[in-house]
């Protein structure tokens, strides 16, 4: 990882060095000579000396900006340098109308450079105002870094420095791309796979953190006699498989800061007529379970958690989306006419819907079921 990143930075630097002001000045001289339309005007040697001195200083500043990865400042420095050169050059080469182009170029470059510098300093001042003291922040046992809005490192933890094998003086003030490959979501650092997470903060700074990549491996239980994890009567997952899958989704939600929703449907037959015996109730209930299986997604987990209780877990689903699903499951028009009539007349469904995220603190199946029991209405 480190070698690939270094090659990328070296290429970027070499391209900027090719456009140093003295090199670009060759093009400026050639163009000025091509548009010459009048007699040359002599320029005092003192003016040439002053222009030369300023040009050298601007060239040095250009190099400093490259070294500090302050690439936004390169264009305005280039405008100032070429504008200052063009003022006496246009007179000396008989292109006097271009002296005003030089004046405007120098002025615009100076204004842009001041604006960029002020903007960068504002970000730094705001960051310093909100971050913890440097010594306390950097010793936190997390691989993280805080940068300004342009990616310049403001603070970096000792843990991250150890992972990338860099010394603090070597990264202070550098761009975050010098230690983290931002073109990748997962990077191999220190012999491990890490996810690169970033968050824009209200003060204009950016928070970067490494999180160890760990795939959740679903371990399937032994299949039943029919070779399936589904109950043949209801088409829902059997409880053993569902519990394992739900707890893996709960871990994934907590570990990777994702989210999920869950619904508990309790089917009752409170007003069943004497003509509906227990066998008929089972037929109606099993038909409803198959209806649920046809509505839910392949990624959802549906199973029986009681004689007439149905659990539906919906990964990556917000609360409103889960409520929409439950609403569709209360619409029996998709069933056969006879089944729809039975459901409308004799079936009552109590429902509870909850939303779970990384901050919910629910890590096991029983904890989730307790929340669903509280949400039943």
Q: How does pLDDT run across 166-207, given as a tens digit for each residue?
A: 888 888 778 888 888 877 777 788 777 787 877 777 777 888
Total count of domains within the chain: 3
In this structure, are 6 and 112 located in the same domain? yes
220 occurs within a structural domain: no
Tell me phi and psi for residue 145, to 5 degrees.
Answer: -150, 150
In this structure, are 368 and 248 located in the same domain? yes
Q: What tokens does 221 get?
A: 């239980």
Query: Is 306's pLDDT higher than 50?
Result: yes
Three-state secondary-structure class, residue 262? strand
Are the CB atoms for 143 and 159 separated by under 8 Å? Answer: yes
In this structure, are 251 and 366 located in the same domain? yes
Q: Helix, strand, coil % (nearest 5) of the chain?
A: 55, 15, 30
- Domain range enclosing 364: 239-375
224 occurs within a structural domain: no
221 occurs within a structural domain: no
Q: What tokens does 223 get?
A: 């299949």
In this structure, are 371 and 251 located in the same domain? yes
CATH (domain of 356): 3.30.70.270
Query: CB atoms < 10 A from the CB of 221, how many?
Result: 13
Of 129, 146, 165, the last residue of a domain is 129
How many residues are given for the chain?
377
In this structure, are 69 and 88 located in the same domain? yes
Query: Is 314's pLDDT higher than 90?
Result: yes
92 occurs within a structural domain: yes
CATH (domain of 163): 3.30.450.20
In this structure, are 31 and 96 located in the same domain? yes
Any idea which residue has 């012999």 for tokens? 191
Determine the Cα–Cα distance for residues 37 and 56; give it in Å rounded to an integer: 29
* pLDDT for the residue 263: 95
- Read off the pLDDT band of 218 (50, 70, 90): very low
In this structure, are 40 and 60 located in the same domain? yes
Say which DSSP state 230 is in. B
59 occurs within a structural domain: yes
Phi/psi region, residue 145 (left: phi>0; alpha: psi -120 to 50; beta: rest), is: beta
């Amino acid at each position: 990882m480190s070698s690939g990143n270094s090659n990328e930075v070296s290429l970027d630097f070499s391209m900027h060095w090719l456009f140093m002001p003295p090199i670009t000045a060759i093009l400026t001289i050639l163009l000025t000579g091509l548009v010459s339309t009048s007699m040359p005007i002599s320029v005092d040697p003192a003016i040439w000396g002053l222009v030369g001195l300023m040009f050298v200083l601007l060239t040095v500043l250009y190099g400093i900006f490259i070294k500090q990865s302050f690439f936004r400042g390169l264009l305005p420095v280039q405008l100032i340098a070429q504008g200052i050169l063009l003022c006496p050059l246009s007179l000396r080469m008989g292109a006097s109308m271009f002296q005003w182009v030089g004046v405007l170029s120098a002025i615009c470059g100076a204004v842009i450079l001041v604006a960029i510098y002020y903007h960068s300093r504002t970000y730094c001042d705001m960051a310093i105002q909100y971050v913890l003291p440097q010594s306390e922040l950097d010793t936190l046992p997390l691989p993280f870094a805080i940068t300004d809005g342009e990616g310049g490192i403001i603070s970096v933890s000792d843990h991250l420095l150890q992972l990338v094998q860099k010394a603090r003086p070597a990264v202070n003030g550098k761009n975050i791309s010098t230690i983290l490959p931002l073109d990748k979501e997962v990077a191999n650092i220190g012999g491990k796979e890490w996810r690169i997470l970033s968050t824009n903060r209200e003060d204009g700074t950016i928070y970067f953190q490494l999180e160890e990549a760990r795939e959740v491996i679903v371990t399937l239980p032994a299949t039943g006699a029919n070779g399936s994890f589904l109950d043949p009567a209801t088409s829902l997952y059997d409880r053993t498989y569902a519990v394992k899958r739900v707890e893996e989704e709960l871990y994934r939600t907590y570990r990777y800061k994702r989210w999920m929703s869950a619904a508990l449907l309790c089917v009752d037959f409170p007003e069943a007529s004497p003509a509906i015996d227990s066998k008929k109730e089972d037929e109606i209930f099993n038909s409803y379970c198959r209806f649920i299986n046809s509505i839910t997604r392949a990624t959802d987990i549906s199973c029986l958690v009681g004689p007439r209780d149905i659990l539906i877990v919906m990964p990556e689903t917000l609360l409103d989306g889960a409520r929409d699903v439950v609403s569709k499951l209360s619409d029996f028009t998709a069933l056969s006419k006879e089944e729809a009539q039975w459901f409308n007349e004799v079936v009552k469904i109590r429902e509870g819907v909850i939303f779970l995220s990384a901050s919910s603190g629910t890590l096991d199946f029983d904890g989730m079921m307790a929340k669903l029991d509280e949400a039943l209405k």
